[in-house]
Amino acid sequence: MSIDNPLSRAEAAGTAAEAGAGATARFRADKTSAAASSQERVAHLAGLAIKALNGIILDEDVTYDEYNALKSWLIRVGDDGEWPLFLDVWLEHSVEEVANKNRHGSKGTIEGPYYVPGSPAQGTPGTLPMRDDEPGTPLLFQGQVTSVDGAPLDGARIELWQADDLGFYSQFAPSLPEWNLRGTVIADGEGNFQVNTIQPAPYQIPTDGACGQLIASAGWHAWRPAHLHLKVSAPGHQLITTQLYFPGDPHNADDIASAVKPELMLDVQERGNGAGRVTTYNFRLDPES
């Protein structure tokens, strides 16, 4: 769909500050800020971070002008509501690696700032909520959810959210319906599922706010490769949060969020007869500890 289309222009009219405010509000509503850490642990981690920053200042002869530019930028990150975006793009991939290092089943990766809980649920085969004229290539996403020993998991839940064909997420861009391309599909008794959706587009993270200012100043790019976001769960097993990627995307190798893993690459095939594409991906869930 061309950006000259009136609906597309409305969708793209949102600002980084608006999206950032939405991400900040969503984080406050859905996440806890009370970490189960002792005073000693907080002192240790905060001390290491402060020591590392002071080391950079001393090693790199940081000037007062650079220091004040940093202060100004940090204030703007808060004003734009972009702390969730900044942290999820540049730090979450390391937190995820620590969190999932002992898993034996499917690989996880970052959640990102655009997850919204409570998406509409349906049985399989299912279709993500979308507009009647939803642009993009139809995609049938299917697979099976099993335990790590291969046993099918009855009633597994496949929660999926994604960008549309222009790279925008519902609830974080104007004009999109509330649950557009967000949904939960319940697998059958053998853990099998089918989800009808569209193939998402690669996109740039917002560039008109503080994060965009950093990207421009550093000469970086702002692109994420096309991907599907998923949370897959089943009773008695650990939920996995992950993303799946499409072969051939030019930013699979240099994702700004450093979230791409070889194990998360899809095998996408043409369905023929103009029916779009199909891809199969199976999930293996670790037991609850």
pLDDT per residue of the chain (289 residues) written in tens, 0 to 9: 445 554 455 555 666 667 767 777 777 777 766 667 899 999 999 999 999 999 999 999 999 999 999 999 999 999 999 999 999 999 999 999 999 999 999 999 999 999 999 999 999 999 999 999 999 999 999 999 999 999 999 999 999 999 999 999 999 998 899 999 999 999 999 999 999 999 999 999 999 999 999 999 999 999 999 999 999 999 999 999 999 999 999 999 999 999 999 999 999 999 988 889 999 999 999 999 8
**Token output for 164:** 């549309």
CB 198 within 8 A of CB 165: yes
CATH homologous superfamily for the domain 97-285: Aromatic compound dioxygenase (2.60.130.10)
Whole-number Å distance between alpha carbons of 42 and 49: 11
Whole-number Å distance between alpha carbons of 222 and 208: 11
Q: Name the residue with tokens 């290491």.
A: 48
**Token output for 19:** 């999206």
Whole-number Å distance between alpha carbons of 83 and 85: 5
pTM recorded for the entire structure: 0.89
Rounded to 5 degrees, φ, ψ at 280 are -120, 130
C-alpha closest to that of 106 among 249, 281, 246: 281
Distances (CA, A) of 137 to 43, 168, 268: 51, 15, 12
Other CB atoms within 10 Å distance of the CB of residue 166: 20
CB 256 within 8 A of CB 221: yes
C-alpha closest to that of 196 among 127, 265, 250: 127
